[in-house]
Amino acid sequence: MRQKHTPRAWGEKHAGTLTVVCVLLLAALLNMAFYALTETFSLYLYAETKLEHTIGQGVKDGIAAANEAGDEVEIIFCMPEDALQDDPVYRLVRETARQLDDAFDFLSVRAVNAVARPDEVDDYRYVLQKDEQTGTYTPVEAYTVGRESVIVAGPLSHTVLSMPSFFVLDDNNSIEAYRGEEVMTGMILYALSDTHPKAYITQSHGESAGTGLYDLLVCAGYELTPIDLLSQTPEDTGGIFVISNPTYDFYRGGTGVEAEIEKLRAYMEAGGFVMIFLDPLACWDGEGQCKLPNLFALMAEWGMSPVPAIIRDNAASVTSDGYTLVVAYAENEEAQALRQTAQPYNTSRIILREAAALSVSEAEGKTAAPLLRTSATAATYFGDRQLSAEGNYAVAGVSVTDAPASGRAGGMSVCTSYYLGARDALGSDEYGNTSFLYALLSRYRGQATPLGATKLRVGSTLLRDLTVREARLWALAVVGLPTLAVAAVSFVILRRRRGR
């Protein structure tokens, strides 16, 4: 009589196959979970073994020079000490504060529980604002203070930042690098000063700038101040004026009318400093016609004129297309003085992307000089057509007044690549862009900056510099090997079941 296939008999016959399928599915799910955890909590995966950072001598020298009087400065964490120590991320900020505390007698560090005892930090939400007409000061709420806040208080002022401000974040808010030394130093320098110049940020011209540039200006002690030149006039000539990647021109006034261009000119002549970052692809149309004629005319008054062409350098580029340039300091007195300010702390190469050539010439009553140049193998192109022979081309320059009426030399700096201040260019010590900009502000504005501060790369950036071969080996190790191991165990189980 023919035996029927009962459900139990079928299950016993295919038990090995079911086991293999289930185990392989489990392996796939584990790999998916591992990938999700890595993407979401990448910093925590590396925290125990990768996050170590030591304060550099350059920062110590800068803080000591800024506080020769020995004024007391306090660093206050709004999170309890045990919570700081238990957190694999935030404890690195606490360690930076501890190292600074060990280096300077005038520094002290404490941790409070801002949630349980808000009265201990409530006063730091306010700053004193001076009424220019009466000369009196009024407390104005300027900060939000919570559990993740860090307060640095000096005798003259204080500042408050959140814990995430001590890290470089990508577009997905994943942590790329730790920049706590730079941020903490900037906060200390800010707290030691009674004057905080403004960094005016232009609006309404299609401008764009990465958070990296804004973060750098904050660390340099500037108060970011958006401004509409059509309705407002910049008054703080001790500060700076930032024009980053404009796509629409600035207005020029008629006879007896002061519009945007006239206000910029007056600002520089009174001692103000304008920093211009350009994107060549947005400056000219397909026929080579300038789309920013008024702004370019103002730059020409100060001896600086961008050339309508893109520089390509296949021999000194970090990308195969030749447009990501490795540039160097120019061979003139101004540029070399700037190099001597920047490079004692960071000798890394400066990187620019899609830069135009910059013509620097004499201008009446002003001193103009190139600051950055390409290698001798660079050439200019318009589309696919080569316009010039190979040679050194200026890509950044500076021009300042010879005899400023205000006692402070006003002027402008121009860089023909907005990438100088891009977030990824400023977020790593592998590039010298940060040191260049800090040195520029220090030399031409007299601003105390966190020159010499270093960054610690963490998280996903550990895999970004791998070769294709190394990346494949990582993929095999992380995904392939666990799956193969599970498959081998399943095979052994199947063989044993069949041998019974």
Q: Say what the pLDDT of residue 262 is.
A: 96
Element (DSSP H or E) covering residue 310? strand 304-312
Residue 162 Cα to chain centre, angstroms: 16
Q: Say what the pLDDT of residue 459 is.
A: 56
Could you tell me the pTM of the whole model? 0.80
Please, what's the largest Cα pairwise distance for the chain?
A: 116
Assigned token pair, 202: 């232009």
Q: Say what the pLDDT of residue 54 is.
A: 86
The span from the CA of 104 to the CA of 83, in Å, is 25
Q: What is the pairing mode between strands 223-227 and 240-244?
A: unpaired
Q: Say what the pLDDT of residue 488 is.
A: 66
The span from the CA of 472 to the CA of 158, in Å, is 50
Q: Hey, what CATH class is 196-447 in?
A: alpha beta
Q: Say what the pLDDT of residue 131 is.
A: 75
The span from the CA of 168 to the CA of 211, in Å, is 10
The answer to whether 379 touches 390, Cβ cutoff 8 Å, is: yes
Q: Say what the pLDDT of residue 472 is.
A: 47
Q: Please name which of 421, 418, 422, 430 lies closest in space to residue 464, comparing C-alpha atoms.
A: 430
| Phi/psi-derived region of residue 354, left when phi > 0, alpha when psi is between -120 and 50, beta in every other case | left
Q: Say what the pLDDT of residue 22 is.
A: 65
User: Could you report the average pLDDT of every consecutive run of 10 residues in the chain (500 residues)?
Assistant: 51 58 63 54 40 83 90 96 88 94 95 94 88 80 93 93 89 85 95 92 87 92 94 93 95 86 95 95 88 96 94 91 94 95 89 95 93 96 88 96 73 95 88 95 93 80 38 52 61 60
Q: Which amino acid is at 88?
A: P
Strand order in the sheet with 198-202: 223-227, 198-202, 240-244, 273-277, 411-415, 394-401, 366-373, 324-329, 350-353
Q: Which amino acid is at 271?
A: G
Q: Which CATH number applies to 43-193? A: 3.40.30.10
Mean pLDDT of all residues belonging to the chain: 84
Q: Say what the pLDDT of residue 47 is.
A: 38
Phi, psi of 31 (to 5 degrees): -65, -40
Q: Say what the pLDDT of residue 414 is.
A: 98
Q: Say what the pLDDT of residue 174 is.
A: 81
**What is the C-alpha radius of gyration for the chain, rounded to an integer number of angstroms?**
29
Rounded to whole angstroms, what are the CA distances from 128 to 52, 131, 135, 167, 331? 38, 10, 12, 29, 46
Q: Say what the pLDDT of residue 44 is.
A: 40
Residue for token pair 């814990």: 163
Is it true that 43-193 and 196-447 share their CATH fold?
no
The span from the CA of 341 to the CA of 410, in Å, is 20
The answer to whether 374 touches 311, Cβ cutoff 8 Å, is: yes
Q: Say what the pLDDT of residue 135 is.
A: 74
The span from the CA of 399 to the CA of 273, in Å, is 10
Q: Say what the pLDDT of residue 404 is.
A: 61
Domain residue ranges in the chain: 43-193, 196-447
Rounded to whole angstroms, what are the CA distances from 300 to 53, 78, 391, 400, 465? 45, 51, 23, 13, 41
Angle between helices 481-498 and 15-40 (to 10 degrees): 160
